[in-house]
Structure 1
Amino acid sequence: MAGIGFELRKILKRDNLVSLVQAYGFAAVISSGPWLLSIFGILVIGMLNYSLTVPNRFIEEFQVSVTYLIAFSLILSGVFQLAFTRFTADRLFEKRRHLIGPAFYGVTLVLTAVSGVCGVLATLFLFPEQSVLFRLLFLAAFVVLCNIWIATIFLSGMKRYKQIVWLYFLGYTVTVLGAQLLRGWQLEGLMAGFLIGQSFLLFGMMVLIARDFPAQTLMSFDFFSGKYLYPSLMLIGVLYNLAVWVDKFIFWFTTETSQAIIGPLRASVIYDMPVFLAYVSIIPGMAIFLLRLETDFVEEYDGFYYAVRTGGSLETIERFRNGMVATVRLGIFEIVKVQAMASLILLIAGEQLLTWMGISTLYLPLLYVDVIGAGLQVVLLGILNVFFYLDKRRIVLWLCFAFVVLNLLFTWISILLGPAFYGYGFAVSVLVVVVGSFVLLSRKLAVLEYETFMLQ
C-alpha cells in the first residue's frame, strides 16, 4: 500500500490546508472505502425500503443474510488473500509479470469451486423453509463476494486504489438501485438487487485485471505448487478474519443476546449497532495508517535493504534502521492520537446515536468499550503490517492465533458475567495482543542488523 502513500505525498507537497484535507480524506476513503461502502449500501437499502411495500421482516432478513455472506466470504477467501498477494509481489520482483494473470484466473477458479460447494451445502440444509429462488440468489452472492475480496486485494497490490474506490461506489449504487427496482419481489427482490450490484462490481474488477495482465494462457495453477505456496500466509488470512468476527458469532448464537432472523441465522441488536458505530470511528486512524506509517516506514525500509544489498557502510545501515524504529514509533503515536480524538467525538455523541437507533442507553458503556477495541485494532493492523515487511510470518501467525483464542475466550466470559461486561472480551483481547506485538516488534527491530546478516 506504500504506492498510494507516495501519491498522496505529492498532494501534501502543495503545502496548504486544502491539500492537507484532500490527502487525508483520500487516504480515509481508500483505506476504509470498500467495507464502508458495503455497510452503508446495506443500510441505505434498508432505510429506503422501510415502507408498506417491503415489510420490515424482509428487510431484516436481507440485512442479516448479507452480513453473514460478507463474514463467511471474508473468512473463506482469506485462505488466498495474503498468499496470492505474496505470489504476485514475488513475480513482479522477478520481472515475470506474464505469470500473474493466468495464476489469478486459476485461483479464482479454485475459489469459485470451493465456495460453490460450501454454498450449495449451506443452502440445501440451512434454509429448508426459504424459496428455491432465495437459495440460488444466496449461493450466487456468496460465490461472487468470495471472488470480489480476491480481486480487491489483487488490485490493491497493483496500486489501483482509485479504481477500486470508484468501482465499489458504482457497484453499490447499482446494488441500491437494483434493490429498489426489484423490491416488489420482497426478500428475493432485495437479494437479486444485491447480486446484480456485486456482479457489476466483480465484472469491473475483472476487466481491469484482464487489461493490466493479458494472459498468454487461459489459466495456470502455479500458485498451488510447493515452491510458490505460503501455507503460513494462507492460515494467517483465515485466522485474522476469523478473529475479527468471532465475538460477533458468539453474540449471534447466544440465546440471551440475540434473536432468530432467518433460518439458522441470528442477530444481536444490542451488540451489532454499537460495534458498527465503533468501526466507523476508525476511519481517521486508518487514514493515518495508510498515509504515515506505511509511507514513511517503507522509505526507511527500502533504504535499509538497499544499503544491505549494495554494501553500504555500517553507519548508513544503522541510520536507516534507526529511521525505521522512529517512523514506527511516530506512526503508531499518530494513529493513537488521531484515533483518540475521533473516539472522543463518538463518545460524546454516543447517547444521542443510540437513542436515534432505538437502542437503550444502558448499553452506552458497550459502545465506549467497542470504540476503544476498534481503535486498538487499527494499532494492531499497523504493527502486523511492519512484521509483514520484515517477513516475520511466524510471529504474525501466532499473534493472529492468539487474537482468535483470546477473543473467543474473553467474549464468552463477558457474556457469562452479564450485560455490564459486554464488549470487554473484544477490547481486552485486542489489548493483550497489541501489548504482546509491541514487545515482539521492539525485540526484532533491536536485532535487525544481526538477523539480516547472520541468519541468511
Structure 2
Amino acid sequence: MAGIGFELRKILSRDSYTATLHAYVYAGLISSGPWVLSILSVMLVGVISLALVMPEMLIRQFFITVTYLMASSLILTGGLQLFFTRFVSDRLFEGRHDDVLPNLVGILLVVTLGAGTMGIVLLATLFDQPLIYRLLVLANFVVLCNLWLVLIFLSGMKAYNRILLVMVLGYSVMVGSAFVLHALQMEGLLLALLLGHSALLFMFLFEILREYRAEKMVAFDFLDRRKVFISLLFTGLGYNLGIWVDKFIFWFNPLTSSQVIGPLRASVLYDLPIFLAYLAIIPGMAVFLVRIETDFAEWYDRLYRAVREGEPLQHITQLKAEMTLAIRQGLLEICKVQGLTVVLLFLFAPRLLGWLGISSYYLPLFYIDLIGVSIQVVFMAILNVFFYLDKRVIVLELCGLFVVLNVVFTWLSLQLGPSFFGYGFTFSLLACVMLGLVKLSRTLEDLEYDTFMLAQR
C-alpha cells in the first residue's frame, strides 16, 4: 500500500534538512508509533499503580497478562495481516476502492468470532481465576486481534497528524482510566487497557470510514480462493511465531521461569533485557520505511511500468540496475543508522540500566539482544523487498527457517547456560539474513528472465 511512499516522497521533494527530519518522524510514527506508545502507556500504568500503593505482585501479574495478550493476538492474526494486506493492495491496484471497507468489516467479523471462540475455550479450560478477570482478558484479546488488522491501513492513509492525535488520545484514555479505576485492582487495570485499545480501534475505524467509501457494508471476497494467497497466512504465522518462540521456551522452562498467574509464566532474567532492546529499533525502523518506500519503491514502480508498457530490454536492464542500487543503499543505510544506535547504547547501557534501577547483571543479555533486534530490522527490510518482487515462496522459506533455527538455537543456549542466553534469537536472525541476502542476489540476477517467463505463463 503506497500511501506512505507517496507522502514521504512529497515531503523529501522539498530537499531540506527540515523536510528530511519531517519524513523520518512520520516514518517512525507509522512504523513504530503504535507499539512504542503501547509499551510506554502500559509502563506508565504500572508506575501509576505503584504510586497508588497497589501490590507489586498484582502489577507484575498485569504486565504478564498484557504480554501474553500481545503475543497470542499477534501470532493469531499475523498471517491474516499479510493475507488481507495483499488482498487490499490488489483491489486498490485494480481501482476497486469500494471493495476495501466491506471486506475489512467482513474480516473483522471473522476474527471476532474466531478469536472469541478460541479465547473462551482456553480461558474456560486453563484458567481458574475469577470470572471478571477471564471476561476482561477475553475482551482485550478480541479487541487486540481486531486492532492489529485495522493498523495495516495506517500506511495507506495520509492524515498523519490525525493518526498521531488518535494514538495520543487512545493511550491517554488507557492511562487516565487506570488512575480512575485503580481501586478495582487487577480488574481495574485490565478494564483501563480495554478502554484504551477499544478507543483506538473505533477511532481508527472512523478514520478508515472517512478514507474509503462503499455501497455495501459487509463482504467476504477475501475468502475467494482465486483472489488471495494462502501462503501468506503461513508466512505471517511463521514470522510472528519466530519472534516469540524463544520467549515461550524460556517462559515454560522451569529453570528459567516462574508461575505468575494461572498457567501464565514469565522469565524475569530473559524478558526485561529484550523488552528494553526492542525500544532501540525505532531509528532503524524509520530508515527502513523511508528508504524502502521512497527510493526502492520508486525504481520498482518505474521498472515494472516499463515492463508492462513494452519498453526496450536495454532500458529495463538499466532500471533494474538502479533498483538494485537502491536496495543496496537502503540496506546499507539501515545498517549504519541501527549500528550507530547499538554503539551508543553499548556505551551508555550501564548508566541507562542504573538509572532504571536494573542490575548490571542484565548487561550481557541486553547487549546480545540489542544486536539481535537490530538484525531483525535488516531481516524485515529483506522480506519487504521479496514481497515487492512477489517472491512469496522465498519469504515463506525464510520465515519457516527463522522459527526452526530460533527453537534449536534457543534450546542449545539453555543447555550451555546463562552466558549464552539470547544467542539463539540473535544467531537465528543472523543466519536468516545471510541466507536472505544470498537469495536476494540470485533473484535480482535472474529478474528479467523470471519476469518475462512469468508473463509468458
Show the counterpart of 1:126: 126
Show the counterpart of 2:342: 343
Distance change >3 Å, CA 93–CA 23, structure 1 → 2:
closer
- What does the per-residue CA deviation read over 1:132-167, in whole Å, with 9 as the maximum and x for residues that have no partner? 111111100000000000011134345555544332
List aligned pairs for 1:327-342, cutoff 5 A: 327-342=326-341
Show the counterpart of 1:284: 283
Asked if residue 273 in structure 1 is aligned to residue 263 in structure 2, the reply is no
- Equivalent position amino acid for 1:396 in 2: V
Distance change >3 Å, CA 157–CA 230, structure 1 → 2:
farther
- What does the per-residue CA deviation read over 1:426-447, in whole Å, with 9 as the maximum and x for residues that have no partner? 0000000000000000000001
- Equivalent position amino acid for 1:366 in 2: L
Is residue 178–residue 188 contact of structure 2 (8 Å, CA) maintained in 1?
yes
List aligned pairs for 1:68-147, cutoff 5 A: 68-128=68-128, 130-147=129-146
Show the counterpart of 2:421: 422
Is residue 119–residue 141 contact of structure 2 (8 Å, CA) maintained in 1?
yes
* SS across alignment from 2:50: coil
Is residue 3–residue 156 contact of structure 2 (8 Å, CA) maintained in 1?
no
Is residue 170–residue 200 contact of structure 2 (8 Å, CA) maintained in 1?
yes
Show the counterpart of 1:326: 325
**How far apart in 2 are the matches of 1:114 and 1:176?**
29
Q: CA deviation at 1:218?
A: 2.8
- Equivalent position amino acid for 2:65 in 1: S
**How far apart in 2 are the matches of 1:103 and 1:24?**
32
Moved more, 249-258 or 5-14: 5-14
Distance change >3 Å, CA 356–CA 267, structure 1 → 2:
farther
Show the counterpart of 2:19: 19
Q: CA deviation at 1:52?
A: 5.0
- Equivalent position amino acid for 1:363 in 2: Y
**How far apart in 1 are the matches of 2:320 and 2:250?**
44
* SS across alignment from 2:217: coil
**How far apart in 2 are the matches of 1:402 and 1:163?**
39
* SS across alignment from 1:106: helix
**How far apart in 2 are the matches of 1:330 and 1:430?**
21
- What does the per-residue CA deviation read over 1:290-328, in whole Å, with 9 as the maximum and x for residues that have no partner? 111321001110111111111111221011100111011
**How far apart in 2 are the matches of 1:4 and 1:73?**
25
Asked if residue 197 in structure 1 is aligned to residue 188 in structure 2, the reply is no
**How far apart in 2 are the matches of 1:184 and 1:375?**
40
Show the counterpart of 2:29: 29
* SS across alignment from 1:282: helix
Q: CA deviation at 1:335?
A: 0.4
Show the counterpart of 2:410: 411
- Equivalent position amino acid for 1:425 in 2: G
**How far apart in 1 are the matches of 2:15 and 2:92?**
34
How many residue pairs are counted as aligned between the two chains? 455
Q: CA deviation at 1:121?
A: 1.4
**How far apart in 2 are the matches of 1:88 and 1:158?**
13
Distance change >3 Å, CA 159–CA 122, structure 1 → 2:
farther
Show the counterpart of 1:259: 258
Q: CA deviation at 1:448?
A: 0.5
* SS across alignment from 1:39: helix
Distance change >3 Å, CA 161–CA 392, structure 1 → 2:
farther
**How far apart in 2 are the matches of 1:279 and 1:233?**
25
The share of aligned pairs that are identical, in percent, is 52
* SS across alignment from 1:399: helix
* SS across alignment from 1:311: coil
* SS across alignment from 1:73: helix
- Equivalent position amino acid for 2:286 in 1: A
Is residue 4–residue 161 contact of structure 1 (8 Å, CA) maintained in 2?
no
**How far apart in 2 are the matches of 1:318 and 1:244?**
37
**How far apart in 2 are the matches of 1:51 and 1:122?**
33
- What does the per-residue CA deviation read over 1:47-78, in whole Å, with 9 as the maximum and x for residues that have no partner? 11113531111111111101110111011111
- What does the per-residue CA deviation read over 1:22-45, in whole Å, with 9 as the maximum and x for residues that have no partner? 332232222111111111111110
Q: CA deviation at 1:455?
A: 2.9
**How far apart in 2 are the matches of 1:93 and 1:8?**
20
- Equivalent position amino acid for 1:179 in 2: A
Distance change >3 Å, CA 78–CA 435, structure 1 → 2:
same
Asked if residue 449 in structure 1 is aligned to residue 435 in structure 2, the reply is no
Distance change >3 Å, CA 121–CA 357, structure 1 → 2:
farther
Is residue 75–residue 241 contact of structure 1 (8 Å, CA) maintained in 2?
yes
**How far apart in 2 are the matches of 1:161 and 1:113?**
31
**How far apart in 1 are the matches of 2:338 and 2:306?**
35
Q: CA deviation at 1:181?
A: 0.6
List aligned pairs for 1:330-409, cutoff 5 A: 330-409=329-408
Is residue 375–residue 433 contact of structure 2 (8 Å, CA) maintained in 1?
yes
Is residue 2–residue 290 contact of structure 1 (8 Å, CA) maintained in 2?
no
- Equivalent position amino acid for 2:55 in 1: P
- Equivalent position amino acid for 2:46 in 1: G
* SS across alignment from 2:215: coil
- Equivalent position amino acid for 1:45 in 2: V
List aligned pairs for 1:170-249, cutoff 5 A: 170-249=169-248
* SS across alignment from 1:50: helix
Is residue 31–residue 289 contact of structure 2 (8 Å, CA) maintained in 1?
yes
**How far apart in 2 are the matches of 1:61 and 1:374?**
26
Distance change >3 Å, CA 156–CA 18, structure 1 → 2:
closer
* SS across alignment from 1:49: helix
- Equivalent position amino acid for 2:242 in 1: A
**How far apart in 1 are the matches of 2:8 and 2:205?**
26
* SS across alignment from 2:98: helix
* Normalised TM-score (structure 1): 0.96
* SS across alignment from 2:265: strand
Distance change >3 Å, CA 230–CA 309, structure 1 → 2:
same
Q: CA deviation at 1:205?
A: 1.5
**How far apart in 2 are the matches of 1:358 and 1:126?**
35
Moved more, 266-275 or 151-160: 151-160
* SS across alignment from 1:266: strand
- What does the per-residue CA deviation read over 1:205-241, in whole Å, with 9 as the maximum and x for residues that have no partner? 1212223333322312111111123110111111111
Superposition CA RMSD, Å: 1.6
- What does the per-residue CA deviation read over 1:225-279, in whole Å, with 9 as the maximum and x for residues that have no partner? 1112311011111111111111111111112222211111112222112112211
**How far apart in 2 are the matches of 1:3 and 1:212?**
12
* SS across alignment from 1:255: coil
